[in-house]
Every structure is written in C-alpha cells, then in structure tokens.
Structure 1
C-alpha cells in the first residue's frame, strides 16, 4: 500500500513538474512568436471575404494596406470599427486599402456583426489561423500598416481612436 502511494505521488509530481517546465518555456519563448519584422516584407496570404471574393495581400502592391485583426466578441474591436469605416471612406480613393481579418469565427457570427455595424470595407475570415500565426497575433485588436512596397511599417495592438486611424492611413498613403 505504501509503495503504491509512493508511485502515485511520484507520478503526480512528475506531471506537475512537466506542467511547470512547459509553462516557463512557453512564457520565455512567447516574445519570439511575433514573426513580422518592421521594415520587412509583409507575409502574403489569400483570404475570402463575405461575398466570396479572394483578397491576396500582394495584389495591393502600390497601395497602402491597413490590416486589422479582430473578433466579434472583442469589445475594443467593436468600438474601433466605425472609426476604421469612416477613414476607409476617406482614404479608399487615395490608394489606401483596408482589410479586416476576423480570427477564425463562423460566417454567421461575422455576418451578424457586419449587418449590425454596416461596414463598407472588405472583411475576410482566417478560418484555419494561418494568417494569425504568420503575423504572430496575440491580443486583439491588432493592426498592421503595410506600405505601398509591401513592407510592414507599424504594428499596433489595442483600441484605435479615429484620429489614430486617420494618422495611420496617412502614413501609408502612396
């Protein structure tokens, strides 16, 4: 009986030790997840919008691209959407494109969100999380500014104000 208890305690301690080791490893290596470097080429991708049209990032070369990663459940994301929409209308004819990349949600959830907020810019869904992983996205909302040459010039995480959106779009205007 004592031997059996000793074995069980040893197994439990080993499992706890492995969990602690993994947690430490994950915390110390999380800074390396951010794969996109400023001044480097933005990772290319193709995602489909709610109307079934494909959007390839590299097709927007020659234009600035405002990439916004978001989720329907994210209150800060919801707060900034009208600001992004207003500035999209201002900058769309000046060579600045906006792509809102939803993080792996259903078409139904995204459609309901879009109907409620009446957004004009293209919204695509990263179904399998590959784009999110390529860009090293952590907390939402996350915004990348891609210049007309296709290079990432800025990364911002957190809620944007309308003046910030305007300033960011101004930075990537051709």
Structure 2
C-alpha cells in the first residue's frame, strides 16, 4: 500500500514538473518571439557600412549621465549622430543650431552627440563646456580602446565634426564631413522625418 501511494505521489510530481517545463518553454518562446519581432522592426537589413544606403554600424556607448545607449535600440525613430570635441572650432560653430534643432525635433529624431572623450583634457572640462553653453542634447562618451576610440574608429570620423543622418530602418541617408550648414541641416532633418 505504501509503495502504491509513493508511486502516485511520484507520478503526480513528474506530471507537475512536466507541466511547469512546458509552461516555461511556451513563455520563453512567446517573449523571444515578441523580442525578435521588435528587433526586426527596428534593425536594418543589408550591407553594413558608412556609405549612403548602407546599414549604419551598431554601437553601444555611455551617456555623459552614465546611461548605456545602443544605436539599434532607436525604436524606429530616425537618428542624427554628430562626432565632436570641445577643442574643435567647427564643432563649436554648429552646436547652437544643433541644440535649437534638438529642442524642436527631439520627439521625432534621436540626437546623439558623440564626444571624442580620449582627446579631451578631462571629462570635467566637457561637462563645463556643455553647462556653460546650456546644451541639453544627449552626449555620448567615446573612450579610447586599444589606440583607437571605439565609435570614431568604427565610423572613420578622422576629421571633426562629422555627422550621419540615419532613417527609421537604420540606413544612412546623409553623411557630412566637416561643418554643417544650418539651412541644409534643417532640410536634412525634415526630409528624414517624412
């Protein structure tokens, strides 16, 4: 009788464990399917490169406020990327109208101002520069890694400033080496929002 009761309890436990395993498997599958669907909707398909029409190379950097940010997690919004440094005269010239555009279009376009952090005197100087000019656009820090800044090397941003405009699918639609011209810049932004 005891053996029969132990067998019943064992069988119930086995069925219970199998049920839990099936439920977990279905749950993981559904979460993964939702995640894959979201990623498919925001990731570019095609050749990754720096020419217009290519998928923009993905990157993950830290903001000046310490948050991690990944380009591919743009939620289907266009993205403006600008590589800059505080010592760059042309960068300083274009920043006031980039700030103005950020204030106007930040709900429709991601603005990522990527600082050449390893070329700066100190992070405190970068923060002071931004505070002094009341710039509120997101600033990403690009540290040095094995003789090369992470994203500057990836985007071949040898001269500063350098800017990229990326559409909702993650495709490069504009690439500008050197200083931006304000009117053309605003036209570029309006075009990518259509």
Displacement of 1:170 after TM fit? 1.2
Quick one: distance in 1 between partners of 2:184 and 2:93? Answer: 13
User: Unpaired segments of 5 or more residues in structure 1?
Assistant: 1-34
Q: How far apart, in 2, do the equivalents of 1:52 and 1:43 lie?
A: 22
The answer for the alignment partner of 1:41 in structure 2 is 55
CA contact (8 A) 1:64 1:173 kept: yes
What is the TM-score of this pair, normalised by structure 2? 0.68
Deviation at 1:126, TM superposition (A): 0.5
Does residue 126 of structure 1 match 2:158?
no
Deviation per CA, 1:80-134: give whole Å up to 9, x if none.
10100101111112x2110000112331121011011111110011002111111
- Provide the TM-score with structure 1 as the length reference: 0.75
Aligned pairs for 1:17-32 within 5 A: none
* Structure 2: 5+ residue stretches without partners: 1-48
Q: Aligned-pair distance for 1:61? A: 4.0
Contact 1:103 1:127 in 2 (8 A): yes
| 4+ residue segments displaced more than 6 Å | none
User: Please, what is the CA RMSD of the aligned residues?
Assistant: 1.3
Counterpart residue number, 2:161:
141
> Which structure is larger by alpha-carbon Rg, 1 or 2?
2
1:54 maps to: 68
Match of 2:78 among 25, 49, 64: 64
Aligned residues: 139
